[in-house]
Amino acid sequence: MGTQRVKTYQEKQKQKEKEKEQAASSESVQEAAKVAKPAQPKKQRSKKWLKAKESVAAQKEYPLEEAIRLVKKTSYAQFDARIEVHIRLKPKKGQVVRGVLALPHGTGKEARVVVFDDGVLTKIEQGKIDFDVLIARPTDLPKLAKVAKILGPRGLMPNAKSGTITNEPEKLVEQIKKGQIEFKTDSANNLHLAIGRVSWEEKKLAENFTVVYNAIKQYSPLAVYLSATMGPSIKVKL
The residues near 207 (Cβ < 8 Å, ≥ 6 apart) are 104, 105
Q: What angle do CA 146, 148, 153 make, to 5 degrees?
A: 150
Q: Is 135 left (phi over 0), alpha (psi -120 to 50) or beta?
A: beta
Interatomic CA distance for residues 118 and 35, integer angstroms: 60
Rounded to two decimals, the pTM is 0.67
pLDDT digits (tens, 9 = 90+) for 71-82: 999 999 999 999
Closest to 98 in 3D by CA, of 223, 186, 9, 226? 186
Tell me if 123 sits within 8 A of 130, measured CB to CB.
yes
Interatomic CA distance for residues 198 and 85, integer angstroms: 13
Lowest mean pLDDT of 6-10, 96-100, 184-188, 203-207, name the range: 6-10
Quote the mean pLDDT of the chain: 83
Looking at the chain, the whole-number percentage of residues with pLDDT higher than 70 is 82
Closest to 83 in 3D by CA, of 177, 205, 237? 205
Given pLDDT bands bounded at 50, 70 and 90, which one contains residue 36?
very low
Interatomic CA distance for residues 199 and 192, integer angstroms: 20
11 versus 152: the higher-pLDDT residue is: 152
- pLDDT at residue 200 tops 50: yes
Closest to 71 in 3D by CA, of 212, 208, 198, 200? 198
pLDDT of residue 116: 94
Question: What are the structural domains, with CATH classification, of the chain?
Answer: 57-107+179-238 (3.30.190.20), 110-178 (3.40.50.790)
pLDDT of residue 94: 77
pLDDT digits (tens, 9 = 90+) for 40-79: 556 678 888 888 888 888 889 999 999 999 999 999 999 9
